[in-house]
Chains A and B, each alone.
Chain A
């Protein structure tokens, strides 16, 4: 399984003892290492993490020194990359893919004085912290815009893998599209890849041929954007990075993974000796999930609604998973005004009622 997918398991959260590691004597700059699952030039997932790396360099200057290894396959190669970084004297290491999880745990056990940060994982220890973003918050905004703007009432969704992170996004998008437009139908196509321009283009073409005029993607390439542009009257949303080169249309807005604030905070904590292991699940409020500019292709009143939704999610007044909600097939899930808990969300393996697509087994 490639990288991300998440989980701030409540159990794991409770299990993390807030033990402060003693600040170590620092001679020379703090060496901070990164491993990426893709190339830094993927313009999506790994690119955004590298933006975060550059942000800490700009913030801390010569107090730190960073190195990265890109395109690291998950499994033994990741373990070797992490070990090499630790042997090279890196004291804080960011592993930016879900699939690196067990490798991080193995290496962290061998280097107790090195701090590890693992993106989207659910295993923590004294020197392993985890972090992840509530991407579903951005999906709610996309769903609203999609529901308001579709003319064919058909929305297409290109999924990567049927894992909780992606399923949360599909559900959040559907709930808010349906709220905006009760006639909306959603089709889901699985690419079984995080980054495969050819497959993503095929998926987009198939959806467009089926009459879809809004495409959402949980894959990182701009291929679906290009297909939508070709087709003309189809709108899309930037994924992971802003994908602004396709604005103002087809890309009408985007969900940007912005790791910079978190990285700056954690490196700062490592520098002043206050770093502790923790599990972070950041959203729009913390800046980890950023909504890209909503272009003029979106009607003004829809844009206003979207901005109101962003504000209410950010302030905590509104949770995208608020009852009454049923699971697909009619089973009760959330009562009126009940809000989904993080534990259920992070293990989400069901569609909400109304989605006609079938969950892949």
Chain B
């Protein structure tokens, strides 16, 4: 007989140990899966976790880790703030799209003018686009009490259709032989978000992600606003007595996470992706939700979780190429990670006692 006994407060030690345990359990269960598929499990695990960092072509893959992790970290940093306050922005994917569209629109509108102000202005436009898209559910919640989870999620689909419309219509490359998709911003120097040091993968989005981590750390752990946000999430009534204005908090959290997601979209469309196409959004906005929770809603945790998530993507691709593993197996592997993390969370909140119920 196993009994779960609720801890008076979540265990800090377990809170940090469970992600590591989850990774370990994923390696074991994933290894069994790969073995069942007829692949050497040790080789597969090595391809996923080792090769991208220290393998033969690691100098390329390390840079790609940053490219993949940057948008995840930037978006998840914003989301984590809101999640701490119990404000659930599920629509970062939509804010990411609208941010990218806003910034790309500015660049494509001014094409081919070259000016040093263009890229910074695009970043501002990207942030504003995401902000506006995030504020729609915020204002609806504040004014009419509409559930922000539903509105922010449904606005993703609106954004996807807007993206398709733009890729097939107004932003279509006029020199593209009628093909959908915008001009490639990588070929427009003033608008391009290039690698800052060749071969490192680091573009302005990577810099922004690091700044976001530092910013949210100061906000949440060194500033009274962070205290209020945390109290609002943990004890809403107490927060109201402490003078927290819930409406303002909703607007702040959704606006901030929207702006971060919008900027992430802009850095992506002006950099690694380059083009507005109907399949531009690659699911970063949704994956970032996982990253936020994997990182325990803590800024440093988000940083590490984003890197880990990126590693499973890059490593998954390496495993697919080297061992010809089917991509579905890699996705199951990624799913296991989240599953085990949530499963082991029991240890953070409960103590386990074996034997008879007392």
Residues on A facing B (Cβ under 8 Å): 1-2, 5, 7, 9, 39, 67-71, 73-77, 79-81, 83-85, 87-88, 98-99, 102, 106, 122, 161-164, 192, 346-349, 360-361
Q: Digit string of B164-208 for contact with A (CB within 8 Å is 1, else 0)? A: 100111000000011111001010000000000000000000000
Interface residues of B in 206-225 (CB under 8 A from A): none
Chain B residues near A122 (CB-CB < 8 A): 177, 179
Least Cβ–Cβ distance between B319 and chain A, in angstroms: 11
| A163-B314 contact given A81-B321, A88-B321, CB 8 Å threshold | no
Query: Could you jot down 6 A-B contacts, CB within 8 Å?
Result: A75-B275, A75-B277, A75-B280, A80-B64, A84-B317, A85-B321
Nearest residue (CB) in B for A12 is B177
Asked if A84 and B282 make an inter-chain contact with CB atoms under 8 angstroms apart, the answer reads no
Least Cβ–Cβ distance between A3 and chain B, in angstroms: 10
CA distance A360 to B314 in the complex (A): 38
Least Cβ–Cβ distance between B157 and chain A, in angstroms: 13
CA distance A68 to B326 in the complex (A): 10
- Choose from B178, B181, B268, B273 the contact partner of A349 (Cβ within 8 Å): B178
CA distance A192 to B160 in the complex (A): 12
Asked if A73 and B321 make an inter-chain contact with CB atoms under 8 angstroms apart, the answer reads no
Known contacts A102-B186, A162-B168, A164-B178; 17 additional CB pairs below 8 A are: A1-B277, A1-B278, A7-B177, A39-B328, A68-B324, A69-B321, A75-B277, A75-B279, A76-B282, A80-B317, A84-B60, A98-B179, A99-B181, A102-B184, A122-B177, A122-B179, A163-B180
Chain B residues near A106 (CB-CB < 8 A): 186
Asked if A70 and B278 make an inter-chain contact with CB atoms under 8 angstroms apart, the answer reads no
CA distance A73 to B317 in the complex (A): 12
Asked if B60 and A83 make an inter-chain contact with CB atoms under 8 angstroms apart, the answer reads yes
Asked if A84 and B318 make an inter-chain contact with CB atoms under 8 angstroms apart, the answer reads yes
Asked if A69 and B272 make an inter-chain contact with CB atoms under 8 angstroms apart, the answer reads no
Chain A residues near B179 (CB-CB < 8 A): 1, 5, 7, 98, 122, 163-164
Chain A residues near B178 (CB-CB < 8 A): 163-164, 347-349
Q: Does B67 contact A (CB under 8 A)?
A: yes
Chain B residues near A84 (CB-CB < 8 A): 57, 60, 317-318, 321
Least Cβ–Cβ distance between B287 and chain A, in angstroms: 13
Asked if B320 and A73 make an inter-chain contact with CB atoms under 8 angstroms apart, the answer reads no
Least Cβ–Cβ distance between B197 and chain A, in angstroms: 16
CA distance A360 to B164 in the complex (A): 12
Nearest residue (CB) in A for B330 is A71
Least Cβ–Cβ distance between A81 and chain B, in angstroms: 6
Asked if B324 and A67 make an inter-chain contact with CB atoms under 8 angstroms apart, the answer reads yes
Q: Does B274 contact A (CB under 8 A)?
A: yes
| A69-B282 contact given A1-B167, A346-B177, CB 8 Å threshold | no
Chain B residues near A98 (CB-CB < 8 A): 179
CA distance A71 to B329 in the complex (A): 12
CA distance A122 to B177 in the complex (A): 9
CA distance A54 to B7 in the complex (A): 59
Asked if A73 and B279 make an inter-chain contact with CB atoms under 8 angstroms apart, the answer reads yes
CA distance A301 to B328 in the complex (A): 48
Asked if A102 and B60 make an inter-chain contact with CB atoms under 8 angstroms apart, the answer reads no
Q: Does B327 contact A (CB under 8 A)?
A: yes
CA distance A361 to B184 in the complex (A): 21
CA distance A225 to B328 in the complex (A): 26
| A70-B327 contact given A1-B167, A75-B279, A102-B186, CB 8 Å threshold | yes
CA distance A134 to B275 in the complex (A): 27
CA distance A74 to B277 in the complex (A): 9
Nearest residue (CB) in A for B184 is A102
Q: Digit string of B294-329 for contact with A (CB within 8 Å is 1, else 0)? A: 000000000000000000001001101110101110
Chain B residues near A67 (CB-CB < 8 A): 321, 324
Asked if A1 and B279 make an inter-chain contact with CB atoms under 8 angstroms apart, the answer reads yes
Asked if A80 and B273 make an inter-chain contact with CB atoms under 8 angstroms apart, the answer reads no
Asked if A39 and B327 make an inter-chain contact with CB atoms under 8 angstroms apart, the answer reads yes
Asked if B273 and A360 make an inter-chain contact with CB atoms under 8 angstroms apart, the answer reads no
Nearest residue (CB) in A for B67 is A76
Chain A residues near B164 (CB-CB < 8 A): 192
Nearest residue (CB) in A for B59 is A87
Least Cβ–Cβ distance between B177 and chain A, in angstroms: 5
CA distance A320 to B185 in the complex (A): 38
Q: Digit string of B58-80 for contact with A (CB within 8 Å is 1, else 0)? A: 00100010010000000000000
Chain B residues near A349 (CB-CB < 8 A): 178
CA distance A260 to B317 in the complex (A): 26
Chain A residues near B278 (CB-CB < 8 A): 1-2, 192
Nearest residue (CB) in A for B172 is A1
Q: Digit string of B236-275 for contact with A (CB within 8 Å is 1, else 0)? A: 0000000000000000000000000000000010001111
Asked if A75 and B320 make an inter-chain contact with CB atoms under 8 angstroms apart, the answer reads no
Q: Which of B178, B314, B320, B328 has the most CB of A within 10 A?
A: B178
Chain A residues near B67 (CB-CB < 8 A): 76
4 closest Cβ contacts across the A-B interface?
A76-B272, A1-B180, A349-B178, A87-B57
Least Cβ–Cβ distance between B312 and chain A, in angstroms: 14
CA distance A99 to B273 in the complex (A): 11
Chain A residues near B64 (CB-CB < 8 A): 80
CA distance A68 to B67 in the complex (A): 23
CA distance A163 to B178 in the complex (A): 7
Chain B residues near A346 (CB-CB < 8 A): 177
Chain B residues near A73 (CB-CB < 8 A): 279, 282
Nearest residue (CB) in B for A74 is B279
CA distance A84 to B317 in the complex (A): 9
CA distance A348 to B268 in the complex (A): 31
Nearest residue (CB) in A for B275 is A102
Q: Which of B60, B164, B181 has the most CB of A within 10 A?
A: B181
Asked if A76 and B60 make an inter-chain contact with CB atoms under 8 angstroms apart, the answer reads no
Asked if A69 and B277 make an inter-chain contact with CB atoms under 8 angstroms apart, the answer reads no
Nearest residue (CB) in B for A121 is B179
Interface residues of B in 109-133 (CB under 8 A from A): none
Nearest residue (CB) in B for A164 is B178
Least Cβ–Cβ distance between B279 and chain A, in angstroms: 6
Least Cβ–Cβ distance between A322 and chain B, in angstroms: 22
Least Cβ–Cβ distance between B226 and chain A, in angstroms: 33
CA distance A192 to B277 in the complex (A): 13
Least Cβ–Cβ distance between A337 and chain B, in angstroms: 26
Nearest residue (CB) in B for A346 is B177
CA distance A75 to B169 in the complex (A): 20
CA distance A83 to B320 in the complex (A): 14
